[in-house]
Chains A and B, each alone.
Chain A
Amino acid sequence: ETGVTQTPRHLVMGMTNKKSLKCEQHLGHNAMYWYKQSAKKPLELMFVYNFKEQTENNSVPSRFSPECPNSSHLFLHLHTLQPEDSALYLCASSQDGPPMGGEAFFGQGTRLTVV
């Protein structure tokens, strides 16, 4: 148990569906992140939130919409996805956001399949 919990663990959705991924951290950290992990690719940073404020958006398509209502919760809203968006989506948190950063604690991820 890493202190970062992601739900659901697995998700299959059609291209016209709308779904949300949830992440919760119990570590008292100030920064939270969404990463995408595809086969044979490095971990791709999608979004960074520091003290609930979005500080980084790495040119992510608008069909991915993050939401951070407080420092402990992070959502990723999905709509009209494409099959190439199928991947493992990992949430992480760290004590501080960039530039301090520090050790990242990852959740177990949501395995997303878009059909």
Chain B
Amino acid sequence: GQQVMQIPQYQHVQEGEDFTTYCNSSTTLSNIQWYKQRPGGHPVFLIQLVKSGEVKKQKRLTFQFGEAKKNSSLHITATQTTDVGTYFCAGQGGGTSYGKLTFGQGTILTVHP
């Protein structure tokens, strides 16, 4: 079945440093979504990428979708303490997994002031 792997599992940074999390799917995706979950909270949708090679920006966050539509990344520039939380990618399958949304394990980001 479809698998979505996300690395790293944990990331500790000093405030002001950059952060990147990577997501890889075992199958080609129709789209990929990113979510953020604050400690004690619930996942909140950030963005959806659909096109091969797509790049989208939201202030300090940059999202990329690979050319083969099997991998994606989220990059945060100059992290702030408000960025702490767990970042999940969720791939919506193509092929035999058509339509199924599979979440990665998440990357837990800690930002030290």
Indicate whether A and B interact: yes
- List chain A positions with a Cβ less than 8 A from chain B: 2, 40-43, 45, 56, 90, 97-109
Chain B residue numbers with a CB within 8 Å of A45 are 100-103
Instruction: Give the shortest distance, in Å, between A94 (CB) and chain B (any CB).
Output: 9
Do the beta carbons of B92 and A101 come within 8 Å of each other?
yes
Do the beta carbons of B106 and A90 come within 8 Å of each other?
no
Chain B residue numbers with a CB within 8 Å of A56 are 100
Instruction: Give the shortest distance, in Å, between B94 (CB) and chain A (any CB).
Output: 9
Instruction: Give the shortest distance, in Å, between B44 (CB) and chain A (any CB).
Output: 7
Q: State how many residues of chain B have any CB contact under 8 Å with chain A.
A: 22
Most buried by B among A41, A104, A108: A104
Chain A residue numbers with a CB within 8 Å of B88 are 42-43
Do the beta carbons of B98 and A90 come within 8 Å of each other?
no
Is B104 interfacial (CB 8 A cutoff)? yes
Is B105 interfacial (CB 8 A cutoff)? yes
Chain A residue numbers with a CB within 8 Å of B41 are 108
Do the beta carbons of A106 and B42 come within 8 Å of each other?
yes
Within B53-93, which residues are at the interface with A (CB < 8 Å)?
88, 90, 92
Do the beta carbons of A104 and B101 come within 8 Å of each other?
yes
Do the beta carbons of A41 and B42 come within 8 Å of each other?
no
Chain B residue numbers with a CB within 8 Å of A103 are 33, 45, 48
Chain B residue numbers with a CB within 8 Å of A2 are 42, 44
Do the beta carbons of A106 and B44 come within 8 Å of each other?
yes
Do the beta carbons of A98 and B99 come within 8 Å of each other?
yes
Cα A99 to Cα B99 in complex, Å, equals 4
Q: 16 interchain pairs (CB within 8 A)?
A: A42-B4, A42-B102, A42-B106, A45-B102, A45-B103, A56-B100, A98-B98, A99-B30, A99-B99, A102-B48, A103-B33, A103-B48, A104-B35, A105-B45, A106-B43, A109-B42
